[in-house]
Amino acid sequence: MTTTTLERKTNTEPAVRPRVDIWHATDAYVLEIEIPGVEEGGIDLKAQGSMLTLNAVQASTDEPPGRLVHCEYQPQNYSCSFNLPEDVDSDQIEAHLNNGLLTLKLCKKEKALPRKIDVRVQ
Amino acid sequence: MTFLTHLPWTKKPVRSETPDQHPVVSLHREINRMFDSFFNDFRDPSAEDFRSWSGFTPAIDVSETENRFEVSAELPGMTAEDISLKVHNGMLTLSGEHKREEEKEDKNYYRMERSYGSFQRAIPLPDNIDEDSVDAQFKNGVLTVSFNRIALPEYQARRIEVKSS
């Protein structure tokens, strides 16, 4: 029987845009980026001006890959960039990698946070 | 027979790659291809199509080397405790639930591309593996389940005498 050959991707393949959830709370914006298979060392995260750029590269393994018999994803590199909102303090970006999920917390500038104003009674 | 034939949803049209001699022939082929892909959308619920109409279905890859058989699944953001694996009657069943973090009241979403929910996938295993040798690792959001491959006894063709009465 004839089967279609499944070709393995090489590391030179163009990166794909990962799936992202973005939400904001009072004090910060949160980005949850799915980069399964990527290790901490493979992440290149840059904030330049109002641009936040992420490049994530799969770790190379010594084991030769097996022959693919069924393929739905294949390990791939990820790349994406975001325009930072004006109220983000680009020095205060926290990044955590946990089980293939990169969580970025972009803290808002103090000026942008809601302030409680005391009302004085005369 | 390869493993591919055990998977009912991997219906891939096999097309001959000979150069087209005549524009009419190539047009005919193109129309055939369009029909193929149109009907495949219904009959071939693999990867993206499948994911778009069920809540969460992890993508899987299946590969084999000379002595290993490997199934891997992308489960970013999940923990090993969320995943359940079973091997029974030549089937590997992967199930679990991708839970959304507790809803905070002040969570205002701009983009929601990740999927959540319960999932189950059953992967038929080939005959030439040792089910007891199963080993599962969860690393960087990728689950890898591997088995040792074993050599099956070779069956000799037997000649059967045809009797005439």
B107 to A23: CB separation less than 8 angstroms, yes or no:
yes
Q: Which residues of B touch A21 (CB under 8 A)?
A: 109, 111-114
The structural architecture, per CATH, of the domain B56-152 is Sandwich (2.60)
Interface of A with B (CB under 8 A): 1-4, 19-26, 32, 34-39, 64-75, 98-101
ipTM above 0.85, yes or no: no
Q: What are the tokens at A113?
A: 């946070």
Q: Tell whether the model's pLDDT for residue B35 goes beyond 50.
A: yes
Closest-CA distance of chain B to residue A72, Å? 5
pLDDT tens digit string along B116-159?
Answer: 889 999 999 998 999 999 999 999 999 999 999 998 888 888 89
- Measure A66 CA to nearest chain B CA, in Å: 5
* Chain B CB contacts of A75 below 8 Å: 142
Q: Say whether pLDDT at A42 is over 80.
A: yes
pLDDT in tens, B94-114: 999 988 876 666 788 888 889
Flag whether pLDDT at B54 surpasses 70.
Answer: no
Q: Which fold has domain A20-58+75-110?
A: Immunoglobulin-like (2.60.40)
Q: For chain A, which residues make up each domain, given as ranges? A: 20-58+75-110
- Give the pLDDT confidence of A47-106 residue by residue, as tens digits: 888 899 999 998 877 777 788 999 998 888 999 999 998 888 888 899 999 999 999 999
Average pLDDT of B46-75?
78
Mutate which: B10, B11, B44, B61, vs A, most A CBs within 10 A: B61
Contacts across the A-B interface (CB distance below 8 Å): 116
Tokens standing for residue B110: 């701009």
DSSP letter string, A30-75: EEEEE-TT--GGGEEEEEETTEEEEEE-PPP-SSPP-EEEE-S---
> What pLDDT shows up at residue B44?
45
User: Which residue in A21, A72, A100 is closest to B140 by CB distance?
Assistant: A100
In percent, the amount of chain A with pLDDT more than 70 equals 89
Share of chain B above pLDDT 70, in %: 68
CA distance A35 to A122: 58
pLDDT of residue B75: 95
Please give the structure tokens belonging to residue A6.
Answer: 């499944």
Q: Which of B112, B78, B113 is nearest to B95 (CA)?
A: B78
Q: What is the pLDDT of residue B141?
A: 94
Look at A71 and A7; give whichever has higher pLDDT. A71
CB < 8 Å & 24+ apart, contacts of B42-45: B43/B11, B44/B9, B44/B10, B44/B11, B45/B9
Chain B, nearest residue to A4 by Cα: B14
B140–A37 C-beta distance less than 8 A = yes
Residue A50: C-alpha distances to residues A83, A91, B14, B43 (Å): 6, 12, 49, 46
Sorting pLDDT into bands at 50, 70 and 90, what band is B3?
A: very low
Contact B142 A36 (CB under 8 A): yes
pLDDT: which is higher, A9 or A47? A47
User: Quick check: B30 pLDDT over 80?
Assistant: no
* pLDDT over 70 at B2, yes or no: no
